[in-house]
């Protein structure tokens, strides 16, 4: 049985590997993500390596083994189910659920996860639009891509975000960007990559490339070239 702290590490490694296109993570990234210092992380990685959940070499970085991947997906499942439950059933806001789910995900009962998943209506995606793995670790398909990869004219639906910090999520509220929001990419300013988007209600907003990179969307304009 995994310790709560193992679960944190494996989920973090999984998340970082996902957001990087390299599929790996490094000690300093992990340390930053977990709010720990590099020596602490290194020490722990050695144990996770002994336990065969990861491989680590300086040159190749940190990779999940098959077994580690399976464990990580299970933690991700628990985390996202709790987030969904908190949002749908307990009526917490989009930006409150992550922190609470971090605490709740440590509770050790598959039966409990099953029940709260049922109570939440067994959805495929969490309140941030992230896919919920099934028990075998399979993720439901989606055509998510960063809003940043848009071309002018894209009609997108906001599926989720790639960052969980309250700071970021509150900023999105400020910008009036919410889950399942539809928006049109009206203009892209080549100078710094800023996007001008228009909402359903005809209001517009300017999004920096830093923000647009973290907003995950699917394009709904038929025949759009954004996905190449």
Partner DNA sequence: ACAAAAAGTTAGGTATACCTAATATATTTA
Partner DNA sequence: TAAATATATTAGGTATACCTAACTTTTTGT
Q: By CB under 7 A, name the binding residues for DNA.
A: 3, 5, 26-29, 35-40, 42-44, 47, 58-59, 61
Q: In this complex, which beta carbon is closest to a copy of itself, that of residue 111 or of residue 228?
A: 111
Cα(169)–Cα(83) distance, integer angstroms: 14
Q: Give residues 81-140 in contact with a copy of itself (rule: CB under 8 A).
A: 86, 89-92, 100, 103-104, 106-109, 111-112, 115-116, 119
Q: In this complex, which beta carbon is closest to DNA, that of residue 22 or of residue 93?
A: 22
Decide which of DNA, a copy of itself, Mn ion, none touches 128; Cβ closer than 5 to 8 Å per partner kind: Mn ion
What tokens were used for 96?
A: 């409150």
Decide which of DNA, a copy of itself, Mn ion, none touches 67; Cβ closer than 5 to 8 Å per partner kind: none
Nearest-approach distance from CB 7 to Mn ion, in angstroms: 13
Nearest-approach distance from CB 45 to DNA, in angstroms: 7
Decide which of DNA, a copy of itself, Mn ion, none touches 112; Cβ closer than 5 to 8 Å per partner kind: a copy of itself
Binding site for a copy of itself (CB under 8 A): 86, 89-92, 100, 103-104, 106-109, 111-112, 115-116, 119
């Amino acid at each position: 049985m995994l310790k709560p702290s193992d679960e944190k590490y494996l989920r973090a490694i999984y998340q970082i590997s996902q957001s990087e296109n390299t599929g790996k993570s490094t000690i300093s990234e992990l340390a930053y993500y977990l709010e720990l210092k590099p020596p602490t992380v290194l020490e722990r990685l050695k144990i996770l390596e002994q336990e065969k959940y990861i491989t680590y070499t300086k040159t190749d970085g940190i990779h999940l083994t098959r077994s580690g991947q399976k464990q990580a997906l299970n933690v991700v499942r628990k985390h996202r189910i709790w987030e969904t439950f908190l949002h749908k059933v307990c009526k917490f806001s989009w930006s409150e659920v992550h922190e609470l789910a971090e605490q709740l995900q440590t509770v050790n009962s598959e039966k409990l996860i099953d029940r709260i998943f049922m109570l939440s209506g067994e959805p495929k995606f969490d309140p941030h639009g992230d896919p919920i793995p099934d028990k075998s670790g399979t993720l439901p398909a989606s055509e998510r891509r960063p809003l940043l990869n848009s071309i002018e004219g894209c009609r997108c639906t906001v599926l989720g975000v790639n960052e969980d910090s309250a700071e970021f999520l509150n900023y999105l509220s400020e910008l009036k960007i919410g889950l399942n929001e539809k928006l049109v990419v009206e203009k892209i300013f080549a100078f710094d990559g800023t996007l001008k988007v228009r909402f359903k209600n005809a209001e517009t907003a300017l999004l920096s490339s830093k923000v647009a990179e973290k907003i995950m969307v699917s394009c709904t304009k038929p025949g759009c070239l954004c996905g190449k």
